[in-house]
Structure 1
């Protein structure tokens, strides 16, 4: 694959990543504003989807303050993921400029891995608060406190560790590349 095609693909991935960040946050908010629609079509990201799917149809009618609180609580882990995607976008922008072995590229890749791990942790921590928030108006005996450990969480943590290790390797490659350039 030629360098120009690789630069073009990197530019496209940077643009797609930006669209994904905006869409992710918008779909999350829309899922809480229109929970019936979101449940029917499976809209939502991880925490939102798990909470909406666990609620009975009657419980999907949330008060305005509950919907707003749910949007805010579910946005916390998604903001961490958005920061990771923003770092990934910066990495693609570096690649589009031909900076394959730069130390900055390694830093952006490492930050991406760390924020994916942070996303999983925040998702885990926000779930009990969210479950209390959305069921607080339910009668006694129907209120919930949920906590989930899912297979996708373990996969995301594994990928985050892999990304962090690859970032370290890229950092070492950057140092070797820099040394080789001084000899030439």
Structure 2
């Protein structure tokens, strides 16, 4: 029993550390995603996720730049939300609160956010391809649509978190019912 307590204490410490890390990342992720548009080499990093567009990009500025920033910021905000929810979940676990109704709700929110991110990704990439080539001469503008294995993986992980969240919420409800009977 003492080993179990020590193990749980380690998980609580790890969760407290992860709560701080994910909260920090939630705040930084959208900021860094937007700043990439302004730092030397940042556009190259953005284009790594858009290999079909790389050779077609000309001068990026004006409405194309603003659209690219807006699309990037919106997509990054979904990641930030998932990280923020993760932070709250880790914080909850760090306090020893494992099976409350909040656990299931937070896992479902995280799953839904990851699903939204995955579903939005092909549209985000398409919008970025237009934004990055809008300043090109007619006939050299591009609309690239693709689905990556990353998008598919995010759908699976998002669905998994949704299901786990539902199961844990139901388990918490059943435990509450049981405690009221006994």
TM-score, normalised to structure 2, is: 0.85
Q: Is 2-11 or 87-96 further displaced after alignment?
A: 2-11
CA distance in 2, matches of 1:104, 1:63: 45
1:33 partner SS: coil
* Counterpart in the other structure of 2:90: 92
Query: Which structure 1 residue ranges, 4+ long, deviate > 6 Å from structure 2?
Result: none
Report 1:1-184 matches (<5 A).
Answer: 1-34=6-39, 36-39=41-44, 43-44=45-46, 49-51=48-50, 54-56=53-55, 59=58, 61-182=59-180
Contact kept in structure 1, 2:65 and 2:131, CA below 8 Å:
no
Q: How many residues are paired up?
A: 177
TM-score, normalised to structure 1, is: 0.84
Q: Which segments of 5 or more consecutive residues in structure 2 lack a partner in the other structure?
A: 1-5
Contact kept in structure 2, 1:127 and 1:146, CA below 8 Å:
yes
Contact kept in structure 2, 1:110 and 1:163, CA below 8 Å:
yes
Which of the pair has the greater relative contact order for Cα pairs under 8 Å at 6+ separation? 2
Q: Name the Cα RMSD after superposition.
A: 2.3
2:37 partner SS: helix
